[in-house]
Each structure stands twice: as C-alpha cells, then as structure tokens.
Amino acid sequence: MKIAVDAMGGDFAPAVVMEAIQSALTEIPDVKILLVGHKEKLSYYMEKMNLVPSDRLELVHAETVVEMADPSTSAIRAKKNSSITVCATLVAEGKADAVASAGHTGAAVAASKVRMRMVDGVDRPCIATIMPNVTGKWILTDAGANTDCTPLNLAQFAVMGELYAKLGLGIKNPRIGLLSVGGEDIKGNELTKETFKILSKMPINFIGNVEGHDTFTGECDVVVCDGFVGNVLLKSSESLALATIHWLKEVLMKTPMRKIGATLAQSAFRELKQYGDSDEYGGAPLLGLNGVCIIGHGSSTPKAVKNAIRVANEFARLKMPQLISERIYACGIDKASYAKKHESDLSSDNKHKTGLAH
C-alpha cells in the first residue's frame, strides 16, 4: 500500500513526521510512503535524519501548506497546491491508496471531500473518534465533519461507526446508540426523532436513544450524533479532563501529608493520563470517502503519526470505502434508495391525509 503522508501538517511538522516515517518504514512491512511537502525543505530535514529516497520512500512536491490559522476552505481555494490537497489528489488519481495527516482538520475534510469525493451511496463523510469508557472504548460519529445534518446523514454515520467498531476495536456486534436527551418520553429534537425511525428499521444492533450519562459508562459502543454535538462532546470532555488534572494537582499540593501520598502514587497519575491518550489510534478516520484519510491531532507525537500511517495502511488494505458502501446498500440507506423511499413515504402520507379529508 502507498500512503501519502502530509509532511507539513501539524504543530511540529516536518520534524515529527520525519521521526514517524523512520519507525513506520521499520515497523510496517511493505508500506510505501509518498512524503508530500515542499521538496527543498523536506530534503534538508531528510538529510538531517539520514532518510534517503528509495522505492519505499518517495518525495512529492507541494508548494504551500494550510496553516492552523487558515480557513478550511483554503485547501480547495487559495491553497490548491497545499500538502493536504496534493495528498488527497494522489489518492483521487490512484497514485496513492490512503492519506495520513496531522494538520488542519477542516482543511483535510475539505480537500478530501472535493478531491476524493464520497464513496458510492454515501451523502457526507464523518469523523469517527475512539473514546475511553469504564469497560473499554467507544466510538463517536460524527466528531465534527458536519455542523448541520439530515436523518440520512446520521443513519449513515451509524453504519460507518459500526464498521469502525468491528474492524478497529474488534467488537462483534456493536451496540449503537442515538445521542439524545432525557428519558424515554422526550424523544430528542426534530433531527433525532426522524433518525430514530430510520435506525429502528435497519439491520444493526440499535439500542435506542442514549443520553450524555451513558457515554463514558460503557452502555454503548457507537454513539451517533451530528458533528456539532459530537464536536462539543469531544472537546468539552478534553477540557474537563485537563481541568480535572489541574484540580487533582491543586488538592494534592494542599498539605504535606497529601504531597507525600502523591509522590508515592505518582506513577498512577501518569497511568491515569493514558486513559485519554489517543496516540495509540493515530488519529481519527474520515469515513465515507472514496478513499482512506486518517486525521491526527495537530499536536501529534511521532508515535501518533506513525500509528496514523499504520491505520491508513490497514484501512486501505481492508478496502474500507468499499466495505462502507456495501454495508450502506445492505442497510437500504444509500442516497438513491433513501430518496425513493422517502418520496413514497411522503406520498403515502399525503394519500392518508387525503383519505382522512374525504
């Protein structure tokens, strides 16, 4: 598999990416890397790291880079020659099998959508993120690719999350929950009420509405919501995790006795931090595209970037886009079938109404 790696994306690029590539070439058999970025800059860094171009490591020039402060759309407008856009184009043209980037998330979404397009049957892509809970891990879809969604979008995110839970976490029959509010009587908002109806009819292990309380407690393997809600959930959780570490330090430093206790238990606190560590997964896949794209945190470590390359390689090998397309069709929620069904639902609703009026 050939992985196009965005060498310029991320807060510590390209140095971090170079380190990642060194280990990727050693640890992942047969992987080929297309290193995308400004050739001169990359050559300088490669020399410093004793990396030489080979049949497993090729340089591809990209004139610019989408900086973190740039708007997402610059990837497809002002900076069409940016490293992330070149990566997406390589996949679109069949010159690479997957993209791995630790750069600007919005730019990666924009470039991938425009260059790779959706896989057959899918309306919009979603970002799938692995999160921890008290019994293991769960998957959040969509974690932020789409701010306004339709019921069909959410139903498709459910299927993509299901596949990721199966193939990424090894869960045989993932429990899929629709993120909503309150108990059984409040069915959620307009979007979730409609989505509930679709999910109920699909051949998936749909466990119904779940609420915020059910997220980190292990009630559910895939939590489905729109990208606005998902992004708020993801980022406020990260914020609370940081605040909790702050508070923990605060209370542990208050008395000499507590300080001694904290010193003895020091390694436990380091271990605690790892519960939220996403480096293992290398980032979040953007699912639903006609190609593979793995997006890392902007502040990715070499280990995280290496794992992003590993996951990109695996997903390309598994033909993840095709698997998603097939499952979407099997669930009867491909764009075309859904539009047809929806139309006939509407017309039968109308008939019903006319019947009542008579």
Q: Return the residues of window 127-186 that contact its own copies according to CB under 8 A.
A: 132-134, 144, 147-148, 179-186
Q: In this structure, what token pair is assigned to residue 222?
A: 């895939």
Cα dist. 75→42, 111, 132, 233 in Å?
A: 20, 6, 32, 26
Whole-number Cα distances in Å, 45 to 42, 51, 102: 5, 8, 18
Residue ranges in 181-220 that form contacts with its own copies under rule CB under 8 A: 181-186, 188-190, 192, 211-217
Cβ-based nearer residue to its own copies, 281 or 315: 281
Among positions 29, 267, 355, 356, the unique one binding its own copies when judged by CB under 8 A: 267
CB of 42 to its own copies, least distance (A): 27
The closest alpha carbon to 288, from 122, 146, 154, 147, belongs to 122
Contacts of 341 (CB under 8 A, 6+ apart): 332
Q: Are 93 and 127 in contact (CB under 8 A)?
A: no
Closest approach of its own copies to the CB of residue 87, in Å: 20
- Residue closer to its own copies, measured from CB, 170 or 256: 256
- DSSP H helices in the chain: 15-27, 39-48, 83-92, 105-116, 151-169, 190-201, 227-252, 256-264, 266-274, 302-318, 320-330, 335-357
CB of 247 to its own copies, least distance (A): 5
- Centre a 10 Å sphere on the Cβ of residue 13 and count the other Cβ atoms it contains: 24
**92-121 binders of its own copies (CB under 8 A):** 105-106
Residue 122 touching its own copies (CB under 8 A): no
Among 15, 169, 207, 262, binds its own copies (CB under 8 A): 262
Q: From the CB of 303, what's the least distance to its own copies, in Å?
A: 21
Window contacting its own copies (CB under 8 A); options: 53-61, 195-203, 271-279, 310-318: 271-279
Which residues have a Cβ under 8 Å from the Cβ of 219 and sit 6 or more positions away? 175, 177, 207, 210
Within a 10 A sphere around the Cβ of 180, how many other Cβ atoms?
A: 24
| Selected binder of its own copies within 58, 272, 329, 337 (CB under 8 A) | 272
Contact status: 266 vs its own copies (CB under 8 A) = yes
Site string for its own copies, 23-52 (x = CB under 8 A): ------------------------------
Compare residues 284 and 328 and give the one whose CB is closer to its own copies. Answer: 284
CB of 311 to its own copies, least distance (A): 23
Cβ atoms of 299 and 9 within 8 Å: the answer is: no
Beta carbon of residue 296, minimum distance to its own copies (angstroms, whole number): 16
Cα-Cα-Cα-Cα torsion 275, 279, 281, 284, nearest 10 degrees, comes to: 100
Residues whose CB falls within 8 Å of the CB of residue 163, separated by 6 or more in sequence, listed in order? 287, 320, 323, 324, 327
The residue (of 93 and 184) whose beta carbon lies closer to its own copies is 184
Which C-beta is closer to its own copies: that of 266 or that of 348? 266
Check residue 85 for interaction with its own copies (CB under 8 A). no
Residues 220-259 that bind its own copies (CB under 8 A): 225-229, 231-244, 246-248, 251-252, 254-255, 257-258
Q: Smaller CB distance to its own copies: residue 127 or 320?
A: 127
**Closest distance to its own copies from the beta carbon of 134 (Å):** 5
Task: Burial-class residue 315 by CB neighbours within 10 Å (0-12, 13-18, 19+).
Answer: buried
The answer to the question of residue 263 lying near its own copies (CB under 8 A) is: yes
Question: Considering only residues 59-78, where is the footprint of its own copies by CB under 8 A?
Answer: 68-73
Nearest distance from C-beta of residue 80 to its own copies, angstroms: 17
